[in-house]
Amino acid sequence: MKLFQASSPNVEVNGETVHSVIDGMGAFKSTAVKILAENGIDNPQPGMWYKQQAWLNSFKKISEQVGSSTLNAIGQKIPENAKFPPEIDDIFKALSAIDIAYHMNHRNGDIGNYKFQKIDEKNAKIICNNPYPDEFDKGIITAMARRFKPSTSIGVKVNIDESQPVRTKGGDSTTFIVSW
């Protein structure tokens, strides 16, 4: 999917998810509120729905003004704010649930997807085919992997698979390799 571009003007994202922008900006919450308002999202509320394009426009402005590390921080807040299936209890279920949660928190059109593939017991692949920036998706994947990594694993590593297409380089999707 094209970066920062909703597939339809009808696609919406819920207020819980939109709120991750504010939470992810840390000390710069007032900047997040201002950018969201400039793009037509005033005072986002849980249970309400907002145009995905307005949210994507906010992401683009944050990327340009504040930087990609902030997009990663926003992505890491998604698991705290978005709705996820309750039966997640291991890293494989957590990573595969990203797509389920994505669809639970968006509506009214083709929104793309997160395709999970298990490589082996300590590695997985996630192909992100959606309009969100790579650093944002990396943040979501990192947060989910850290939260549900096996107790025997020291850490989590999430990297772009440069042998595959990358959205920020004009590709329709970005592939991440997750190791723990």
Q: Give residue-wise pLDDT tens across range 132-148.
A: 999 999 999 999 999 99
Residue 108's pLDDT is 98
Give the mean model confidence (pLDDT) for residues 93-109.
95
Q: Give residue-wise pLDDT tens across range 158-172.
A: 999 999 999 999 999
Sorted by where each starts, the structural domains of the chain and their CATH numbers stand as 12-81 (no CATH), 91-179 (3.90.1520.10)
Q: Give residue-wise pLDDT tens across range 44-73.
A: 999 999 999 999 999 899 999 988 888 898
Residue 82's pLDDT is 66
Q: Give residue-wise pLDDT tens across range 21-48.
A: 888 888 888 999 999 999 999 999 999 9
Residue 21's pLDDT is 83
What does the mean pLDDT of the chain come to? 93
- pTM summary value: 0.92
What single string gives the DSSP state of each residue in the chain? --TT--SSTT-EEEHHHHHHHHHHTGGGHHHHHHHHHHTT--S--TT-EEEHHHHHHHHHHHHHHT-HHHHHHHHHHHHHHS---TT--SHHHHHHHHHHHHHHTEESS---EEEEEEEETTEEEEEEESSS-HHHHHHHHHHHHHHH--TT----EEEE-TTS--GGGT-S-EEEEEE-
Residue 86's pLDDT is 77
Q: Give residue-wise pLDDT tens across range 102-136.
A: 999 999 999 999 999 999 999 999 999 999 999 99
The percentage of residues in the chain with a pLDDT greater than 90, rounded to a whole number, is 77
Residue 89's pLDDT is 86
